[in-house]
Amino acid sequence: MKKEIKLEIKDNNGLHARKCLEICKAAQSFKSDLALIHNNIRIDVKSILGLLSLACTKGEIVTLEATGDDASNAIDLLSSLVC
């Protein structure tokens, strides 16, 4: 199953290192393929360096995609962490 959602970054510091680590650790608990897309750049959410490389700031829109059996659960948890 494939699921996606568009999210606005609401943290004043954007996707900073601590937030990226939290997202990455949570993502690793899922079997689904997880991607975050920003400015046409697609990264694996399970990669801390990938998340940091996006350099997302407050107010920017990202797309979170999940493909796999636990895609819905992954989207639910990760969307709450990204925002």
**Active-site residue list:** 16
C-alpha–C-alpha distance, residues 38 and 34, integer Å: 14
CA distance 51 to 35: 10
Q: Which residues of 12-27 are buried (b: 16+ CB within 10 A; e: fewer)?
A: eebbeeebbeebbebb
